[in-house]
A and B are shown apart, each in its own frame.
Chain A
Amino acid sequence: MSELGVVESFKVTFIVRRFNPETDQEPFWQDFDVDMYSTDRVLDGLHKIKWEQDGSLSFRRSCAHGICGSDAMRINGRNRLACKTLIKDLDITKPVYVEAIKGLPLEKDLIVDMEPFFAAYREVQPFLQSTSKPDKENIQSPEQRARFDDTTKCILCAACTTSCPVFWTDGQYFGPAAIVAAHRFIFDSRDEASQVRLDILNSKEGVWRCRTTFNCSEACPRGIEITKAISEVKQATISGVRR
């Protein structure tokens, strides 16, 4: 806590990949020098650029503390949430490179078209399917609940899917986030449609496209063990679901 109260700012150079579809043929890199504090986040830097230097810089953000999933972007070549990336954790002797996440159509500056991402999510039937009609709640033991806890953390930010080399080369691949969404229900003891989802993911563009590069797990701002979840889904397509 010794940092609190100390107010020492320093200059950070951000190099941002810009693209305005109304005026630019191609994206280009633009430098901005910004005064920052060590406790600032990359999102604060982007705001300082937008609010003090160039109001046309466009990006999505909302909660600013890592739970809404709006501001996934590529920071120094890694997919991260801008609001969860602290300046003190970056090497600021060098410029900080910021660009849109890859593999989804670029709309403007740091904004991409999220529709293909959500389309893949919808494909895996990401909702509980159950015919039971209990008077009160469905009963689920703490152990059954723990079985899918990790994948309930997903905030649909797309950091994982857009860090996946398979997804970059084959946009038809469901991608890690959709598999995480499926995993959350496949291993939920209350759900009755696991096999439907497993059949969907056993298809040509399903789990078998995963090459286990672990990019997704490294990118996840929620710390979900995505590669593990994918391998559990792979396993389940072969030997059935063990909850």
Chain B
Amino acid sequence: MTTVHHHEYDVVIVGAGGAGMRAAIESAPHAKTAVITKLYPTRSHTGAAQGGMAAALANVEEDSWEWHTFDTVKGGDYLVDQDAAEILAKEAIDAILDLERMGLPFNRTPDGKIDQRRFGGHTRDHGKAPVRRACYSADRTGHMILQTLFQNCTKLGVEFYNEFYVLDLVLTEEKGKTRTSGVVAYELSTGDIHVFNATSVIFATGGFGKMFKTTSNAHTLTGDGVGIVWRKGIPLEDMEFFQFHPTGLAGLGILLTEGARGEGAILRNASGERFMERYAPTIKDLAPRDIISRCMVQEVAEGRGAGPEKDYVLLDCTHLGAEVLETKLPDITEFARTYLGVDPVTEPVPVMPTAHYAMGGIPTTTDAEVLLNNTTVIPGLYAAGECACVSVHGSNRLGTNSLLDINVFGKRAGRNAAAYANKAKRPALPKGTESFVVELIEKMRTADGSESVAAIRKELQLEMDRNAQVFRTEESLSHAQTVIEALRKRYEKVGIHDRGQRFNTDLLEAIELGFLLDLAEVVVVSARNRKESRGGHMRDDFPDRDDKKYMKHTMAYKKGENIALDWKPVVITNYPPMERKY
């Protein structure tokens, strides 16, 4: 007999990375708040972010939030909602100052201000030259943000439910309108079920990079939050746009920050040529990530790759000197030494693109409210961070804009969720709210089919790397779709080993795989439908951007076992779409 516990909160936040904890800091002083995470907060993948967080502080050279807005719009290949980008760039400055006052140890200029470095796609005066906009703390900016937010949650006494795995969102009908009334979670240490009745719910559950084999993402980034929302019939926006970060350690995918190139590192092919000069003559190695990743793959495809298999390119940091590497880029220097046995001080580092960031996700307004369709919000439901799609990143996110996103929209989500909870009545939960999760857990805990979770996951990851990565075609995507459909059938027959109640990570992985399969299908179906190339979505068979047909967001809806696709207009304010050159 499963034990079920009941809790009541004004605000429940699902996920304790940057967005979740930034929301908690805003919400907890004003409303009874709980943060639920399947990990411990400090394990969240915000901590893996390295290079910096953009804000036009103009501490080291002239800059403006308007330039930052423009760069964000252009970087996203004009699929960015421009009102949202403007909010992002404007509120960036306060977001940085908030963090500094909370204690974040930024690197400093000689006169004691927050130091700033260059990053891809961030430019002075609408593309004239790279600008120093990224505020940073060595190459562990994400780590420092995660720690600082955790420290401040500790200061505020925020209530955490650590190692609680949220598996269902409760939506109820009220006067003919859908609204949220809570979540249901599975407690990993005991196997108990917890029902959280909440007036406001914020999803801040991060991404789903583990659908790819080569990824910078943590094992735990399996898209649970996005998957839960999807299964509830809430649409997902722009899922075809996935970012492949250029500099993953070759063969491993471990991230090497773009900040390295911000500090002057250069990408070279086998002959030592600085190949980005050919593709982006103005800003070269500091072109946005989508462009650099494509160029790298093209260099390798055309036989100019380095190494015995000619299957990677080289990130050359040797001219930066030991001091810059040790003081400004110490972590990535160590990663290269530890995992590849390469010392960046003396040797170039083998790199290739790695699946890094989902531009798409749960559609929200600029107030972080979740959309049920193009116009209707779901009262009490919010999303922020990588799991959400505002959309500030459009079809390609600029480096340093994600740490910014979690702070700006995490704060908005927390503030709005608390305000809503303070004016709305907590809705009653329907009877048997927990039954869906109880049954899901029992079914999986006793699953004795012949299929292996690890085998299906591996096949999914290989297929996504092969056919839905940097370059895509109708042929590759339809192949991927067929494979995913077959894997989904096999998933129905999985078996697990661990029949226990306590810390059943076997069961956890099986459930996570279900979300990955669901979302991979949405990614591939959305990608097939967009017959153009834009930002992170490159179609070999449709190499050009097609604004006439596709200057609009994809909206994918779950209709039974099928996926129905619709569109949502892009918000254009100041910047009419132009050709994207660097």
Q: Identify the A interface with B (CB < 8 A).
A: 1, 3-5, 20-23, 39, 50-52, 54-56, 58-70, 84, 86, 107-109, 111, 114, 118, 121-122, 125-128, 130, 134, 136-142, 144-145, 148-149, 152-156, 185, 188, 190-191, 223
Contacts and interface: CB of A to CB of B under 8 A. Distances in A.
A68 B503 contact: no
A66 B338 contact: yes
Nearest 6 A-B pairs (CB), nearest first? A128-B103, A55-B497, A51-B454, A139-B112, A56-B498, A55-B506
Contacts of B400: none
B108 A142 contact: yes
B307 interface: yes
B422 interface: no
Given A63-B47, A114-B40, A190-B103, 19 more contacts: A4-B308, A4-B340, A5-B308, A39-B340, A50-B505, A60-B43, A63-B48, A65-B254, A68-B47, A69-B42, A86-B339, A118-B40, A126-B154, A137-B96, A144-B112, A145-B105, A148-B105, A149-B138, A156-B42
Contacts of A137: 96-97, 100-101, 106, 113-114
B452 interface: yes
A91 B101 CA distance: 48
Nearest to A152: B105
Contacts of B309: 4-5
Given A3-B341, A126-B154, A136-B97, A22 B107 contact: no
Contacts of B143: 67, 153, 155
Given A127-B155, A152-B137, A56 B307 contact: no
Contacts of A4: 250-251, 307-309, 340, 350
Given A65-B339, A67-B331, A156-B42, A1 B47 contact: no
A61 B453 CA distance: 17
A90 to B, nearest CB: 14
A67 B47 contact: yes
Interface size class on chain B is 35 or more
A232 to B, nearest CB: 17
A107 B339 contact: no
Contact of A20 (B339, B453, B500): B500
Contacts of A144: 108, 112
B101 A84 contact: no
A190 B151 CA distance: 15
8 contacts: A1-B342, A52-B454, A62-B219, A63-B47, A67-B48, A68-B44, A107-B189, A154-B147
Given A5-B309, A20-B500, A56-B506, A188 B42 contact: no
A137 B55 CA distance: 13
